[in-house]
């Protein structure tokens, strides 16, 4: 029996099976946390905020029982790119200089590269944490609740929340559609075209596939429009109430405290470890 | 409903439409368009971020948004942008979010320019302005985010310094390396200028590519039939749809040459269970439209109050297509979807009534066709309708699902104070009604289908005229197993140790229910999926190494028809020149289609013709075998019979090897004498 090694794929919009404290949190809480972390790291991308948020991320992953297998396989070309980046940055040198016996290592460049990479990884990780622990059905109701104040600005939050809910329902169908289109193209022999450069052929093919995809999407939209009309237009989108509970307030307070701590450390520049 | 929708089935108006109702809220059609196009954009963006080397796709995210900008008001575009960018953010974080946001901005702009009938100069001018605005926004953001800017620039400088240092070791490159370093330093000093230039350049590039693609796609979309049926009614007064009385009601679609419904007199009283039968084209669906509120072309429809489509105590409609009926992502959410905010139906009891008890928390994406339709019935019942119209609800559902659905429908009128109008083309379904209305006039010219019972699994049956021994194996599967997302928490086994052989000229039916792994098996046989273990050989070659030698016709025929015209499509699928008219005509003849169809646009074909054109293209390559995934789904009885006899003939007389993947048996005995049952990924 032959066993082919499979790469772990990126699984879209499906929470890790099972439940946990983190799974049970309100979807709105998780979105606020990710937004806050992104904002913090955008304004203060120093080592201490990055480290604090990384620790918080790992602790959350632990609480949510996320196995290592949830991470998609990292393709080899990405490793190679990272290695090239690290090597060139290390050669760049600069302060601080590390004295090892008789060697003077200039680590400034490497440290900056590492900080930038760590920042990207932590941000990606927080984004993934939301999709790993949140059922898509909970997203739109939470958005509707969070967006309620925007109604005062005459922003049609309710319509947007319904559109988001329906989009999330249609999204897997669209992904399947592209999977099928790609398969249909693979099944064909290489095109025999009497005229045209490779570029023109590529353009024609892209338009062909896009037109087929859009045609099927339009049909789906027509049918979905009928289904909405049959229900008398839009209204409720979820059966269960969507609001924060006690655990959510605890989580939000903890994250707020950590963020404030990180900002204070950065402003005071404790130990000279912050931005340099 | 907006005027972007012509009244009935004729093609979409090529020109842009303006909303007839300047109301604030989105209409159902606008909402559906915004959601589906939003999902399409998000899917394109995600694929471009997640799949390596598909980055170019992100240039095309503009097209669905451009389409919305072209056809609908700004409000629709904004709703779609919000939905698409939120989805992209949930999956790919801030990078996906930015891709979608940028593309919605650019795409919406091109769509609006197109609607205003402006040309290339306007596109260039607008893209420059848009580029400047975008540049200002990015520069502003970087001015505020001082530390992030410093870090990014420092990291870049370190990389450049490293490269320069390494290059300086080699004398010939020394000077140019130092020049590069100096240039980079200057560039960083004037970073706002650089960012502005970059922003204008990329926005212009994306706009031009988007403009080009949108123009092409819009050309293609001309003449695509609009299949939406129901209209939102502008009604006043109390809801009271019953009793309804039709007197010589006749309906003709605007611009059509004949009546879709000939003059009909009938009535529906409270508590009645009525079956409506009739041949294709006799006006069954048109009658549904009249009962759900459309005004007849002539004649009278009399009811005591408003129709109340979808309102409490009004009229509810369940339609044909299971996947499109269901709007919620979770079963319980779908039941309440669209209800007024204060309505609190007993979701558990409603689900129990349709046989879905305890499934409140299930994801609707994993339900079978029959379950989806029963869920749609539950959602209709949540409105306590006075009149429920079921329009061919069983036609896309397998046998078991059909039985369960009929079980639910049969005693609805006993348990609720409501009338049921059941439109169907199945004999046995009409029999459970109190009375039957036949739209075809007389009973004997009706096309009625009787669903087949499940036959026993059988071994290979020799084809008459062929000696069984002379037939060589075409497909050989040896202990094939497949697991999706292996190694992750989402791992799911689709197939387990499946072994069988398909010989030349065989007709094999692989039968299985929802989630039995039959589609995975079809993809493995076609070489599109590599099994996690075991082998699938096509004439001694691994299937995944000879994609295309085993042909596969997917259930969604439209997605397999990539070219715009029949002749181009067949030539492309078979690999010969589209100018080779003789071969195109010959290919069409093999599937029983006339050569005059060669110039026809794909979107003017009927569902049955689409399937045949797909098969024609596949057969013109002389494949080793032909796999058909649910070949009869969505076809009416006539097309079903025609396609079956065509395939049976090809197998018997041309020696074509046929593998059918289906959840149904009806009429397949002749085509597929051999049946394999697939259950939970295993052959039984």
Residue range B418-442: mean pLDDT, rounded:
83
As a whole number of angstroms, the distance between CA A188 and CA A186 comes to 5
Q: Are A72 and A12 in contact (CB under 8 A)?
A: no
How far is Cα B582 from Cα B124, in angstroms, rounded to an integer?
45
Lowest mean pLDDT among A117-131, B270-284, B492-506, B513-527: B270-284
**Contact between chains at B31 and A210 (C-beta distance less than 8 A):** no
Which residue in A has a C-alpha nearest to residue B219's C-alpha? A211
Which residues of A are less than 8 Å from B562 in CB distance?
181, 184-185, 188, 205, 208-209, 212
User: What is the reported pLDDT for B453?
Assistant: 47
| Partner residue facing A174 (CB), from B29, B43, B483 | B43
The nearest CA of chain B is from the CA of A105 a distance in Å of 14
Taking the C-alpha atoms of residue B603 and residue B588, their distance in angstroms, rounded to an integer, is 17
- DSSP code string of B539-579: TTEEGGGSTTSEEEE-S-HHHH--SSBHHHHHHHHHTS-TT
What are the Cα distances from residue A130, in Å, to A138, A147, A255, B566, B678? 11, 18, 15, 46, 37
The verdict on a CB contact (< 8 Å) between A116 and B155 is yes
Q: List pLDDT tens digits, range B671-681.
A: 999 999 999 89
Percent of chain B with pLDDT strictly greater than 70: 92
Residue matched to tokens 């502005």: B196
**pLDDT bracket for residue A5 (50, 70, 90):** low
Query: How many residues does the structure list for chain B?
Result: 684
**Local confidence band at B445 (pLDDT 50, 70, 90 cut-offs):** very low
Mean pLDDT of B570-578: 88
Mean pLDDT of B591-603: 89
Hunting for tokens 């590269």 — which residue is that?
A113
For the ranges B460-469, B584-593, B612-621, the lowest mean pLDDT is seen at: B460-469
A119·B151 Cβ contact <8 A:
yes
- What does the domain layout of chain B look like in residue ranges? 1-228, 244-445, 468-683
H helix and E strand count, chain B: 21, 18
Enumerate the residues of chain B whose CB falls inside 8 A of the CB of residue A181. Answer: 559, 562
**Residue A178, token pair as written in the block:** 């592209």
Q: Which two tokens stand for residue B641?
A: 């019979």
Average pLDDT over residues A7-22: 87
In terms of DSSP bridges, do strands B244-251 and B261-268 run parallel, antiparallel, or are they unpaired? antiparallel
Residue B249's nearest CA partner among B305, B309, B293, B308 is: B293
Is the Cβ of B230 closer than 8 Å to some Cβ of chain A? yes
Interface test with B, best of A150, A231, A266, A276 (most B CBs within 10 A): A231
- Residue pair B476/B531 in contact (Cβ under 8 Å)? The answer is no
Would the CATH topology of B244-445 be identical to that of B468-683?
yes
Interface test with B, best of A229, A234, A238, A262 (most B CBs within 10 A): A229
Q: CA dist A155 to B87, B274, B280, Å?
A: 19, 46, 46
**% of residues, chain B, pLDDT over 90:** 43
Put simply, whether B138 touches A (Cβ < 8 Å) is no
DSSP code of B355? T
- For residues B519 and B399, the model is more confident at B519
State the pLDDT confidence band at A274, using cuts at 50, 70 and 90: very low
CA B498 to chain A, closest CA, distance in angstroms equals: 13
User: What is residue B263's DSSP assignment?
Assistant: E
Quickly state the pLDDT bin for A195 (edges 50, 70, 90): low
Closest partner CB to A226 (pick from B213, B228, B364): B228
Count of A-B CB contacts under 8 Å: 432
CB < 8 Å from A in window 554-583 of B: 554, 556, 558-564, 571-577, 579
Burial A20-45 (b: 16+ CB within 10 A, else e): eebbebbbbbbbbbbebbbebbbbbb
Per-residue pLDDT for B510 more than 80?
yes
Q: CA gyration radius for chain B?
A: 29
A173/B329 Cβ within 8 A: no
Q: What Cα–Cα distance (Å) separates residue B65 from each residue in A181, B21, B29, B104, B539?
A: 20, 22, 16, 6, 46
Other C-beta atoms closer than 10 Å to the C-beta of B550 total 27
Q: Do B28 and A11 touch (CB under 8 A)?
A: no
Whether domain B468-683 has CATH 3.20.20.70: the reply is no
Quote the pLDDT of residue A203. 79
Q: In the structure, what pLDDT confidence band is assigned to residue B5 with cuts at 50, 70 and 90?
A: very low
Tell me: pLDDT of B249 over 60. yes
Tokens (6 digits) for B233: 């009614």
Which residue bears the tokens 């002389």?
Answer: B622
Q: Is B343 exposed, middle or buried (0-12, 13-18, 19+ CB in 10 A)?
A: middle
Report cis status (omega within 30 of 0) of the bond before B243.
yes
Closest CA to B324 of A228, A44, A152, A165: A228
Q: Which residue has the higher pLDDT, B389 or B282?
A: B389
Option in B78, B335, B558 nearest A212 (CB): B558
Which of residues 317 through 346 in chain B touch A, CB cutoff 8 A? 317-319, 321, 323-330, 332-333, 335-341, 343
Which residues from chain A sit within 8 angstroms of residue B391, using beta carbons?
none
Smallest CA–CA distance, residue A237 to chain B, in Å, is 5
Kindly indicate the confidence band of residue B552, based on its pLDDT and cuts at 50, 70 and 90. very high
Q: What is the mean pLDDT of residues B630-649?
A: 85
Q: How near does any CA of chain A get to the CA of B465, in Å?
A: 32
Cα A180 to Cα B414, B528, B553: the distances in Å are 45, 10, 11
- Chain A contact for B213 (CB, 8 A cutoff): yes
Question: How far is the alpha carbon of A33 from chain B, nearest alpha carbon, in Å?
Answer: 13
The residue-averaged pLDDT of B572-587 equals 88
> Please, which residues bridge with residue B512 across strands?
B678
Q: How many CA atoms lie within 13 A of B100 on its CB side?
A: 33
Superfamily of domain B244-445: P-loop containing nucleotide triphosphate hydrolases (3.40.50.300)
Tokens 């080699």 locate to B170
Which residue's entry shows tokens 């028809």? B561
The mean predicted confidence, pLDDT, of chain A is 87
pLDDT at B23: 61
User: Does residue A200 register a pLDDT over 80?
Assistant: no
State residue A105's pLDDT score: 77
Who among B160, B217, B528 is closest to A211 (CB)? B217
Confidence of residue B463 (pLDDT cuts 50, 70, 90): very low
Contact call for A166 and B32, based on CB within 8 A: yes
Residue B380: pLDDT band with limits 50, 70, 90: very high
Q: Is the pLDDT of residue B281 over 80?
A: no
Place B99 in a pLDDT band, splitting at 50, 70 and 90. confident
- Higher per-residue confidence, B191 vs B13: B191
Q: Is the pLDDT of residue B143 over 80?
A: yes
Query: Looking at the predicted structure, is the pLDDT value of residue B606 above 90?
Result: no
Q: Alpha-carbon torsion B138, B142, B143, B145, what sign?
A: positive
pLDDT of residue B444: 41
Tell me if chain A has a CB within 8 Å of the CB of B166: yes
What pLDDT score was predicted for residue B654? 87
* Model pLDDT, residue B414: 87
* Interface contact B162, partner A, CB < 8 A: yes
Provide the shortest C-alpha distance from residue A246 to chain B (in Å): 23
- Chain B residues near residue A32 by CB distance under 8 angstroms: none
Least confident of A137-146, B125-134, B635-644, B670-679: B635-644
Which among B80, B87, B232 has CB closest to A168?
A: B87
* Interface residue B177 vs chain A (CB under 8 A): no
Residue B292: enclosing H or E segment and its boundaries?
A: none
Tokens matching residue A198: 């490779």
Q: Which residue of A has its CA nearest to B288?
A: A230
* pLDDT the model gives residue B676: 93
- Kindly determine whether residue B31 and residue A209, on different chains, have CB atoms separated by under 8 Å: no
Q: Does B208 lie at the interface with A, CB-CB under 8 angstroms? A: no
| Residue B250 bridge partners (DSSP) | B298
Instruction: Name the residue facing B152 among A88, A116, A219 (closest C-beta).
Output: A116
Instruction: Decide if B163 and A174 are in contact by the 8 Å CB cutoff.
Output: no
Q: Judge if the upstream peptide bond of residue B491 is cis by omega within 30 degrees of 0.
A: no
Question: What are residue B549's phi and psi, to 5 degrees?
Answer: -75, -30
pLDDT tens-digit readout, B11-68: 444 344 444 445 678 899 999 999 999 999 999 988 887 776 666 777 888 999 999 9
Nearest to residue A250, comparing CAs of A26, A41, A40? A26
**Interface ipTM > 0.85:** yes
pLDDT digits (tens, 9 = 90+) for A228-271: 999 988 888 988 888 999 999 999 999 999 999 999 988 886 54
Given an 8 Å threshold on Cβ–Cβ distance, is B35 in contact with A224? yes
Domain ranges of chain A: 12-134+246-269, 136-238
Dist. CA B156–CA A223, nearest whole Å: 51
The whole model's pTM is what?
0.89
């Amino acid at each position: 029996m032959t066993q082919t090694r499979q790469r772990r794929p990126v699984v879209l919009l499906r929470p890790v099976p099972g439940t946990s404290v983190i799974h049970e949190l309100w979807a709105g809480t998780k979105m606020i946390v990710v937004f806050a972390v992104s904002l913090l790291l955008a304004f203060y991308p120093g080592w201490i905020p990055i480290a604090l948020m990384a620790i918080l991320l790992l602790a959350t992953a632990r609480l949510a029982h996320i196995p290592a297998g949830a991470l998609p396989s990292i393709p080899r070309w990405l490793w190679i790119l990272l290695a090239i980046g690290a090597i060139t940055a290390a050669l760049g040198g600069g302060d601080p200089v590390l004295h090892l016996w008789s060697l003077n290592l200039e680590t400034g460049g490497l440290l900056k590269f590492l900080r930038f990479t760590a920042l990207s990884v932590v941000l990606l990780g927080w984004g993934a944490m939301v999709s790993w622990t949140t059922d898509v059905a909970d997203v739109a109701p939470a958005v509707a609740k969070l967006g309620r104040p925007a109604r005062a600005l005459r922003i049609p939050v309710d319509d947007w929340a319904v559109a988001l809910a329906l989009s999330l329902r249609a999204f897997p169908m669209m992904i399947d559609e592209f999977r099928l289109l790609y398969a249909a193209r693979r099944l064909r022999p290489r095109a025999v075209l009497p005229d045209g450069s490779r570029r023109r052929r590529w353009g024609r093919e892209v338009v062909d596939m896009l037109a087929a995809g859009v045609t099927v999407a339009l049909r789906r939209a027509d049918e979905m429009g009928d289904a909405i009309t049959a229900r008398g237009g839009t209204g409720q989108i979820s059966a269960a109430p969507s609001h924060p509970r006690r655990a959510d307030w605890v989580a939000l307070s903890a994250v707020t405290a950590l963020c404030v701590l990180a900002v204070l450390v950065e402003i005071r520049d404790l130990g000279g470890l912050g931005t340099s | 409903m907006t005027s972007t929708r012509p009244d009935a089935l004729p093609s979409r108006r090529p020109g842009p439409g303006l909303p007839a109702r300047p109301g604030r809220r989105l209409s159902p059609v606008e909402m559906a368009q915004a959601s589906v196009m939003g999902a399409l954009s998000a899917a394109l963006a995600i694929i471009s971020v997640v799949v390596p080397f598909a980055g170019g796709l992100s240039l095309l995210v503009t097209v669905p948004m451009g389409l919305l900008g072209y056809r609908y008001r700004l409000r629709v575009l904004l709703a779609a942008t919000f939905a698409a960018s939120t989805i992209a953010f949930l999956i790919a974080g801030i990078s996906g979010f930015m891709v979608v946001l940028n593309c919605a901005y650019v795409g919406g702009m091109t769509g609006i320019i197109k609607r205003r009938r402006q040309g290339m100069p306007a596109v260039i001018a607008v893209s420059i302005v848009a580029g400047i605005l975008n540049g200002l926004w990015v520069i502003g953001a970087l001015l505020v985010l001082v530390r992030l800017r410093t870090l990014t620039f420092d990291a870049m400088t370190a990389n450049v310094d490293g490269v320069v240092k390494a290059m300086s070791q080699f004398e010939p490159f020394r000077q140019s390396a130092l020049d590069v370093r100096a240039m980079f330093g200057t560039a960083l000093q004037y970073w706002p200028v650089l960012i502005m230039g970059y922003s204008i350049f990329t926005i212009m590039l994306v706009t031009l590519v988007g403009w080009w693609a949108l123009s092409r796609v819009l050309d293609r979309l001309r003449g695509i039939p609009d299949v939406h049926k129901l209209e939102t009614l502008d009604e006043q007064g109390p809801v009271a749809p019953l009793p309804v009385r039709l007197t010589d009601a006749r309906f003709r679609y605007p611009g059509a040459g004949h009546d879709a419904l000939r003059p009909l007199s009938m009535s529906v009283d409270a508590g009645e269970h009525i079956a409506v039968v009739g041949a294709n084209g006799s006006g069954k669906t048109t009658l549904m439209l009249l009962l759900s509120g459309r005004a007849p072309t002539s004649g009278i429809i009399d009811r005591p109050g408003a129709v109340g489509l979808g309102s409490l105590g009004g009229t509810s409609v369940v339609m044909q297509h299971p996947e499109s009926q269901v709007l919620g992502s979770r079963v319980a959410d779908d039941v309440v979807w669209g209800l007024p905010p204060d309505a609190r139906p007993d979701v558990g009891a409603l689900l129990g009534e349709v046989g879905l008890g305890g499934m409140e928390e299930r994801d609707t994406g994993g339900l079978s066709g029959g379950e989806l339709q029963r869920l749609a019935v539950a959602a209709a019942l949540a409105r306590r309708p006075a009149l429920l119209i079921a329009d061919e609800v069983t036609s896309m559902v397998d046998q078991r699902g059909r039985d369960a659905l009929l079980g639910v429908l049969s005693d609805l009128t006993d348990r609720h104070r409501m009338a049921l109008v059941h439109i169907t083309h199945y004999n046995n379904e009409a029999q459970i009604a109190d009375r039957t209305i036949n739209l075809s006039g007389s009973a004997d010219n009706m096309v009625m289908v009787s669903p087949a019972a499940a036959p026993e699994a059988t071994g290979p049956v020799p084809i008459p005229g062929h000696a069984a021994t002379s037939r060589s194996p075409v497909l050989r599967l040896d202990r094939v197993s497949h697991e999706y997302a292996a190694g992750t928490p989402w791992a799911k086994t689709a197939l387990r140790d499946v072994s069988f052989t398909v010989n030349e000229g065989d007709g094999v039916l692989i039968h299985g229910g929802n989630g039995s792994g039959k589609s995975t098996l079809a993809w493995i046989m076609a070489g599109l999926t590599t099994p996690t273990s075991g082998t699938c050989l096509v004439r001694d070659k691994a299937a995944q190494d000879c994609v295309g030698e085993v042909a596969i016709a997917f259930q969604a025929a439209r997605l397999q028809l990539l070219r715009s015209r029949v002749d181009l499509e067949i030539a492309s699928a078979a690999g010969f020149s589209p100018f080779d008219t003789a071969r195109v005509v010959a290919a069409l003849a093999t599937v029983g289609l006339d050569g005059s169809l060669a110039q026809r646009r794909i979107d003017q074909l009927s569902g049955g013709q689409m399937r045949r054109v797909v098969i024609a293209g596949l057969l013109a390559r002389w494949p080793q075998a032909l796999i058909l995934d649910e070949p009869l789904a969505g076809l009416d009885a006539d097309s079903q019979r025609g396609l079956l006899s065509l395939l049976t003939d090809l197998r018997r007389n041309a020696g074509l090897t046929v593998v059918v993947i289906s959840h149904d048996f009806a009429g397949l005995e002749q085509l597929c004498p051999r049946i394999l049952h697939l259950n939970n990924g295993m052959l039984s």
